[in-house]
Structure 1
Amino acid sequence: MFQSLDDLLKILNPQIVGSLKRAIELGKWPNGVTLTEQQKSLCGEAIAHWEQRHAAPESRAGYVPPKATPCGEKHEHEDQALTWVES
């Protein structure tokens, strides 16, 4: 039916991608048939490729927003000396 992943991606649209996501979430197709691990993997790959081409980064599956403070920046409290108190 499809000669390549690109052929498959050409027919995908937001509704089909949504259906694939739902199938992965539920672990079954709309007709109730269970997805195999291979089908889950292929659906996930198709979704990722489609979103890479058509969706904004913040709306893609698995998106993690950047931290408010990047790791390389110093914080005020980091320059303060620590004092050991024995009890």
Structure 2
Amino acid sequence: MTDFLQMIETINADIYERLKLAVEIGKWPDGQRLTQEQKELCLQALITWEAKNLPIDARIGYMGEQHCKSKAKTIPNLLLHS
């Protein structure tokens, strides 16, 4: 785990963007496809780097203040009408 954290410390914004693009398109810049293991490791690196360097609302997967649309509707209680 120490090696992984040390590697995260070497990631700069350019490397971060390259890793992010590789995961998004599933390929390295040379066109070679990422293996499943490479995708997983890249995502772990991206998430860890973001936790140290980006505000929460700029991180992968941030959803914000979203609410389920069904909660906005009032649903009648059918048991009261029987």
Category of TM-score, reference length = shorter chain: 0.7 to 0.9
The structure with the greater share of residues assigned to helix is: 2
The alpha-carbon distance between structure 1 residues 81 and 48, as it changes in their structure 2 partners (threshold 3 A), is closer
In the alignment, the residues of structure 1 paired with residue 18 and residue 3 of structure 2 have an alpha-carbon distance, to the nearest angstrom, of 21
**Secondary structure in structure 2 of the residue aligned to 1:4:** helix
Q: Counterpart in 1 of 2:21?
A: 22
Which is greater in Rg?
Answer: 1
Which structure 1 segments of 5+ residues have no match?
69-74
The alpha-carbon distance between structure 1 residues 25 and 81, as it changes in their structure 2 partners (threshold 3 A), is closer
Answering whether residue 56 of structure 2 is matched by residue 57 of structure 1, we say: yes
- Pairing 1:1-87 to 2, within 5 Å after superposition: 4-67=3-66
The alpha-carbon distance between structure 1 residues 81 and 38, as it changes in their structure 2 partners (threshold 3 A), is closer
Q: How many positions carry a matched residue from both structures?
A: 76
Which structure 2 segments of 5+ residues have no match?
none
In the alignment, the residues of structure 1 paired with residue 5 and residue 77 of structure 2 have an alpha-carbon distance, to the nearest angstrom, of 58
Deviation at 1:45, TM superposition (A): 0.2
Deviation at 1:4, TM superposition (A): 1.1
